[in-house]
Amino acid sequence: MAFSLDRDGASRRLGVSSRTIDRHIQAERIRTRRIGKKMFLEEDDVEALRMADPARREEDYTIVESSEERKVPEIVTPIKEMIDPKQNNVALAEIVRIYEDARSLIAEKDATIQTLSYKLWKIESELANSIPAMEYKKTTFLLESAKSKSDSDAEVLTKKITTLESEVNKRNSALVTLVILFILVLGFSVIFVLFGDSLK
């Protein structure tokens, strides 16, 4: 996935106006990413649109020809020159027909190669995009596991805090009770000392 084209570059590649590029973006046929203050377009999406246009598709493939296919025009041209059309029009017509048949066969092979190349490109693109998807699922799973573990740890800590708070409250209550008892004992002692002396 390469966000490397700007709107002008994409319009030049597709041979369309910038407004057409904007319509493709609005229709979500071309993905975009903002890097800094500039917006870049997904090059694979632009290439897919370009490949979808039959008029441009022929530019994208190198036609693979065998040595025999390349020799077809080289063989026919000398034969045309050797045969006098006035003397043997039938033979010339037959040679031209064979030549045209050979050209149509080559064109069919080229079309097949182009179609297969396009399908291969699509499969490679899907495969390249599927690997990050698997990594995304793995990362999501790890994040969810970490979140559930942190939630369980937080729950355990909350329980411990609640337990400690109850123990502290119990100890505080016991301490307050002891202080009250101490004050009462001290008060009774003072009263006993004071009134004990007066009773004597």
SS (H, E, C) 42-103: EHHHHHHHHHHCHHHHHHHCCCCCCHHHHHHHHHHHHHHHHCCCCCCHHHHHHHHHHHHHHH
Q: What is the pLDDT of residue 62?
A: 43
Is it the case that residue 79 has pLDDT exceeding 60?
A: no
Secondary structure of residue 200 in the 3-state scheme? coil
Task: Give the predicted TM-score (pTM) of the model.
Answer: 0.29
Is it the case that residue 60 has pLDDT exceeding 70?
A: no
Q: What is the pLDDT of residue 133?
A: 63
Q: What is the pLDDT of residue 63?
A: 43
pLDDT digits 0-9 by tens, 105-148: 898 888 889 888 888 887 877 776 665 666 777 888 888 888 88
pLDDT digits 0-9 by tens, 39-49: 898 888 888 88
Give 45: exposed, middle or buried? Use CB within 10 Å, 0-12, 13-18, 19+.
buried
Is it the case that residue 15 has pLDDT exceeding 50?
A: yes
Q: Where are the domains of the chain?
A: 1-60, 61-199
The third-level CATH classification (topology) of the domain covering 1-60 is Multidrug-efflux Transporter Regulator; Chain: A; Domain 2 (1.10.1660)
Which has more confidence, 61 or 115? 115
Q: What is the pLDDT of residue 180?
A: 92
- Tokens 């190349």 -> residue: 117
Length reported for the chain: 200
User: What percentage of the chain exceeds 70 in pLDDT?
Assistant: 74
Q: What is the pLDDT of residue 99?
A: 86
pLDDT tier, 93 (very low <50, low <70, confident <90, very high otherwise): confident
Of 61-70, 146-155, 168-177, which gets the smallest average pLDDT?
61-70
Is it the case that residue 80 has pLDDT exceeding 60?
A: no
Tally Cβ neighbours within 10 Å of residue 43.
Answer: 17
